[in-house]
């Protein structure tokens, strides 16, 4: 990416949503030249499939399908299915965030029904703070579900879960989501502007 003519350098910024969030955090934990990462409703543990880098393999976070809630028309709420990567002793799924030299921005919606993104973001920041890190910040939005798109995109409260191939509750309230879109995107741009531009 650094060789791409439209990449200014010297570092790279990553914006990851959902699974893209844990991939972006993993890249920042293992690769050099990642300067800034913003993750939107992303887990802080590897999910879905094993992640391999050199001699390191991070297994996926276990999920318990029995904890899914089922609503009318067989629409599922997956928010309780993932295991808690901070409570399991020796959990190997947790991304080693403390290795990241990048600045990290965790963005989470309190009404996310895919993962408990507020909890993941809050615990990740506590974990980083306990490791003596100060390279993180967090934005939490009440009434925001799993999908936080750029301003003026429509809210989809129900969608297809790409991993489980089933209809899923994504969450979110119309007014809260709209306000969060208008607030979050300038914050993301300012974050990248601050940490990616030459000083």
Among 24, 117, 146, 178, the active-site one is: 146
| CB 171, CB 111: distance < 8 Å | yes
| CB 57, CB 50: distance < 8 Å | yes
Q: Is 112 a catalytic residue?
A: yes
Among 103, 112, 113, 127, the active-site one is: 112
Q: Is 84 a catalytic residue?
A: no
Cα(first)–Cα(last) distance of the chain, in Å? 21
Among 18, 26, 93, 178, the active-site one is: 18
In whole angstroms, give the CA distance from residue 198 to residue 75. 47
In whole angstroms, give the CA distance from residue 16 to residue 25. 8
The encoded tokens of residue 24 equal 């972006």
Q: Is 103 a catalytic residue?
A: no
Q: Annotated active-site positions, please?
A: 18, 112, 146
């Amino acid at each position: 990416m650094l060789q791409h003519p439209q990449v200014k350098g010297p570092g790279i910024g990553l914006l990851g949503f959902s699974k893209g969030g844990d991939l972006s955090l993993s890249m920042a934990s293992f690769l050099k030249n990642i300067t800034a990462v913003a993750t939107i409703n992303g887990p802080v543990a590897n999910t879905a499939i094993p992640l391999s880098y050199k001699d390191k393999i991070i297994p996926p976070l276990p999920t318990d399908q029995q904890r899914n809630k089922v609503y009318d028309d067989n629409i599922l709420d997956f928010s309780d299915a993932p295991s808690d990567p901070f409570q399991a002793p020796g959990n190997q799924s947790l991304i080693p965030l403390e290795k990241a030299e990048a600045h990290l921005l965790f963005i989470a919606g309190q009404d996310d029904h895919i993962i408990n993104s507020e909890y993941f973001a809050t615990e990740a920041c506590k974990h980083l703070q306990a490791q003596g890190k100060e390279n993180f910040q967090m934005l939490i939005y009440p009434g925001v579900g799993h999908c936080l798109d750029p301003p003026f995109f429509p809210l989809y409260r129900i969608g297809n879960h790409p991993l489980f191939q089933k209809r899923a509750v994504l969450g979110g309230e119309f007014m809260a989501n709209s306000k969060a879109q208008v607030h979050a995107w300038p914050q993301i741009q300012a974050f990248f502007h601050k940490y990616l531009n030459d000083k």
